[in-house]
Structure 1
Amino acid sequence: MSIGNSPDDGRPSIGRRLRQARVESGLTVDEISSTTRVRAPIVHAIEQDDFSRCGGDVYARGHIRTLARAVGLDPAALIEQYDAEHGGRPSPTPAAPLFEAERIRSEPRRPNWTAAMVAAIVAVVGFVGFTLFSGGDKEGGRPVAADSPTARQSTPAHSPSPSKPADPKPDPSESAIAAAPGNKVTVKVTATEAASWISAKDHNGRLMDELVLKEGASKTFTDEQQIDLVLGNAGAVQLFVNGKEIKHVGDNGQVQRLSYTKGDPEAG
């Protein structure tokens, strides 16, 4: 590597020409580096004709071209001098074969969904047609009419199966008697005719419950000694005390106050 002059024709070297032009322009290396974005160590190396720090001929040519424009030199002349001193410019890679290869390469075939759907529809239509033309009974080859004797014979008549008789419901008075414990006071109130307001207290006078009993609903109260009842619509309720029904508790709309203890029921 020669520094200062070209070894072939005695011309100033590339680095010397760049350095001289920079100095004549009144620019420092740092200013050139800031303007061209070429790092200052690389600028110093190029001015000393050391192109090893450029990273290859391609980058060296690019740096030379950039620095030459920055200091007012002709980049083409410096690049020509660089190629002459470093074995010439490499021949470009022919692009035609690569282009031909890319053009000849066939694209991957996509599935033809339209043809597949048409084939499926044709298959379904063919199957339905075959089923219609080949159907019928085994004897005459014709479909059996719905009202023909054969159809009537082949279709068994579904006679309604006799329904199982419902189990007889136990008498309310019997179930109430069986459910009532003998050592307590048990009162069961059922709203049979209409709704009724009821209130129940135990033997200590504490309120057990107070509610409007809807039609068809029942409520049972139990105490060790005594139950005091208030019925807001006495004629609409059915009353069982200690398992025994109390006949005619009262009239419709009548308010009744009743008390019951263990043993046989007695109205208070």
Structure 2
Amino acid sequence: MSIGNSPEDERPFHDDREEATPSIGDALRQARIAAGLTVDDVSTATRVRIAIVHAIEADDFAPCGGDVYARGHIRTLAKAVRTDPAPLLARYDADHGGRPAPTPAAPMFEAERIRPERRGPNWTAAMVAAIVAVVGFVGFTAFRGEDSGGAKNQAAEGPASSTSAAASPTPSDTKPADQKPEPSDSAIAAAPQDKVTVQVSATDGRSWISAKDHNGRMLFDGLLKKGDSKTFQDSSKINLILGDAGAIQLYVNGKKIQDDFQPGAVERLTYTKGDPEVG
């Protein structure tokens, strides 16, 4: 008879609680089933393709096309099945090397300064300048006429009227303040007609966005916080991906886009010089 612990008792303790933690795909699938939704229901509500929903529930993120898109899909699906996306995104970042760093948008504007495109004459600006010149000339002539009439009256009235004449404002003080046109309410309204200009503003929350030019060159890939805004220009086309389109307001070629984007929806958009119509 032996006294003490048996060999089985000396084996290291194995905690099964870690194995009980579901993966990202399992957590989304369990939440979908608990919400009484099918894969078709989730795909219809989020506009994420059925094949991608199946892949994510199988923990296969390759069809998403990159970490930014995968994170956007995880957030969108989690909201659709009414579960908190934060733990799932934290686990994805831990498994895939952390959240991707945003790419600054400055290189695009430096490239524009280095390789400026030739533009035709701006006839609109020339017409505005001509109108301002005409208005200024007419106003100056009118004030000169009034000033000449006042000088004649002063000569007829004698020295007694010199005090009131000195108190009256000079023509330079009474020039109308609206000889120059007021600036536009939005700088985007002055977008050049020979380019496509897209302004992306996070008005209702934050959202990950990606912007590319017509050659597929990345212009911006990162997070817009609430209140942030980015403007992109290209000679022919801008390609956008919005991670949470419901938080974004778009202005294309100086016009506001009225699309009813849903919160948490991932949108892929293309705009050209002829828009605002989604390409």
Check whether TM > 0.5: no
Larger radius of gyration: 1
- The structure whose residues are more often helix, as a share, is 2
TM-score by length of 1: 0.34
TM-score, length basis structure 2:
0.33
Higher relative contact order at CA 8 Å, sep ≥6: structure 1 or structure 2? 2
